[in-house]
A and B are shown apart, each in its own frame.
Chain A
Amino acid sequence: MQRVDDLITRKTSLPENIITLCRFLRSRGMPIGPQDEADALNALCVMPFDAPENLRLTLRAILVKSRPDMLRFDELYGVFWSELEKAQDAKIVQDESESAAQKEEGPPKPSLKSLQNWLYGNRTEETEEVAAYSPAEVLTKRDFSTFSEDELQEVMKIIAVIARSLANRYSRRYKKRNSGQLDIKRTIRSNLRRGGDILDLLHRKRKIHRFKLVVLCDVSKSMDLYSKFMIQFMYAFQASFRRMETFVFSTGLHRISDVLQTDGLREALNALERIPGWSGGTRIGESLQEFNETYGARFIDDRTIVLILSDGWETGDMQPLSSSMEYLQKKAARIIWLNPLAGNPEYQPTVQGMAAAMPYIDVYAPAHSVDSLRQLVHHLARSGKRRFS
């Protein structure tokens, strides 16, 4: 039986409590390192103690590293101190009779449960989750729709990890070479008229060839799940593209790039659920048309890759779909259409909508499993090479 005993014992000194707080926040996914812990303790020495609010402000300034973390910190900070109080009391009870203490508490709210587990030194679910990473291999080939609720959480995590490492590799592909190297030919030519002295140095202009990416995700009932995975996956690629815009559509079009950027993935996924008409029917053609009219001129140019995720079940008229696909094909560098159903070998893209869009698509690929998302990176990279090398 493994117990983290030092966490349960009553902490009387502030530094110890702060370290506990840091470890707690870290276990909630905030990136807090030893350096931050040291900074927090250092700050205690310079921090004025005359207002109770100062401690929170100080720790917030030091431990928070991004806006999503800031929202999380604000949420967890109060929870921590009040639970710490309880944990200290609970420990006393626990010493007397361990099982009795847990029964008395009653079933805690789910958000608090893990904290309590953690504070009381119980073996947390987390440790078990980490252990479950190894059989991940099996998970990567399965269709998302076959996963149970528990497994979905797991897959979400795996996707985040894979996406991050792929994104790093992808950005490296675009590392600029020869920056600032002399262009000898042009230098000599332009200096000839000055009598041969090399006065002006001409440098080779480095090519900046990074693409912009527009992601359009179908969130109608049949596509809801796949879109969430897709957004989760592409989120890691934010820094790899010069610009990335994310839209979702069902019966209407919504831009979610701003929420993604400022409040992070978690908030964005929550916000998705609140969109009216979420998981309703699909009007692909009209949504794409709306996109072209409202954002087309601003976001689409010949260095933009358009990524559409949809099963092509158009419930409306076909005409808007083909005309807006034609527009996109003319203006964008490349169109990648991902269809989760394409993973099924028996499926033929004969759905009316899919058939209407097909002539304008550069890459048609499945997106139903972790492996197929991994493949997507190759498509993104290749589309860069073919047109601009």
Chain B
Amino acid sequence: MKNTELNKIASMLASQGYITEASIVMSTFLAMKLGKPLLIEGPAGVGKTEIAKVMASALETDLIRLQCYEGLDATHALYEWNYQRQLLHIKLEEESGKSVAEKEATIFSEDFLLKRPLLQAITHPKAPVLLIDEVDRSDVEFESFLLEILSDWQVTIPEMGTIKANHIPHVVVTSNRVRELSEALRRRCLYLWIDYPDYTKELAIVMGKVPNINKRLAEEICHFMQELRQQKLEKTPGIAETLDWATALAELHFAHLEKDMIEQTLGVVLKDWQDIRQTSMSLSELYERMGVRSKIG
């Protein structure tokens, strides 16, 4: 990968402390070049949201974020009228003798419009990065609504008329696969799957983000995490957990992993009591396998 633009994105990602892979760089590059939304799927805590942030800083533009949740509807995503302010304005204008039409024109102007993320993204002076986070948590109805916006890039407000996008935003959509997304949405996007990092990548991330960590400790932590992810767990720990754990252990000035210590600090890595119980029971075995891995690698 020698191309300058690709390189720029790769180094952009690196400078944000994001350790990347060729496929991630390529997808980000193509999404920006072709102006298509980028759909990123993968388990929680592998840095899906980070991509949008890096894209925004690479393009030197703003990041507008729409966090999805169950029950999210068009008003919360697009716009609302500032009803209270409109009412106040009418009261103040009562004596002014303006005609009804004039009054109406003022209260249904942009001053009284509360822009929500999607409208913000459309009316932004420079094409922003629009992050639609965890779209799988929203309802199917909202997804279809989103589809409409993503293809037309215009919003019709009955009182004001149609607002067309100044620039088409760069869109990043993330999903944790809580619910299967519609074919139509998938078809419109470029797709990127980010998995848990392999050992080398994870070690690079730990060494990069926890600067004063002992190298041996970092290696052992990463080996242990790789083993742990092989287990059948309810909530498989992500990179965030590795980093929390590494930071905690580095703070405590440990030089390498010990079994007791793992047992005592397991709560940093595992967030489900059954996982903790199950892991403590098979800890000896895990610890041994980590030892073997460390010797080989």
Contact = CB atoms under 8 A, between A and B. Distances in A.
B108 to A, nearest CB: 16
Interface residues of A, number: 43
Given A67-B41, A201-B83, A262 B177 contact: yes
Interface of A: 31, 33, 35-36, 39, 42-43, 46-48, 50-51, 53-54, 57-58, 60-62, 64-67, 69-70, 171, 175-176, 179-180, 197-199, 201, 206, 208, 238-239, 242-243, 261-262, 294
Contact of B178 (A43, A54, A243): A243
Nearest to B5: A48
A46 B186 CA distance: 22
A332 B179 CA distance: 21
B80 to A, nearest CB: 10
Contacts of B190: 61-62
Interface residues of B, number: 41
A64 B186 CA distance: 9
A36 B187 CA distance: 8
A180 B187 contact: no
B212 interface: no
Interface in B1-18: 1-3, 5-6
Contacts of A180: 73-75
Contact of B26 (A36, A61, A176, A199): A61
Given A50-B3, A60-B23, A239-B181, 9 more contacts: A46-B34, A48-B6, A57-B23, A65-B183, A65-B186, A65-B187, A70-B191, A238-B180, A294-B274
A86 B139 CA distance: 48
Contacts of A69: 191
A48 B2 contact: yes
Contacts of B74: 180
The residue among A48, A69, A206, A238 with the most chain B CB atoms within 10 A of its own CB is A48
Given A53-B22, A61-B26, A70 B75 contact: no
A33 B187 contact: yes
Closest 3 CB pairs of A and B: A48-B3, A57-B26, A65-B186
A253 to B, nearest CB: 12
Contact of B2 (A51, A175, A198): A51
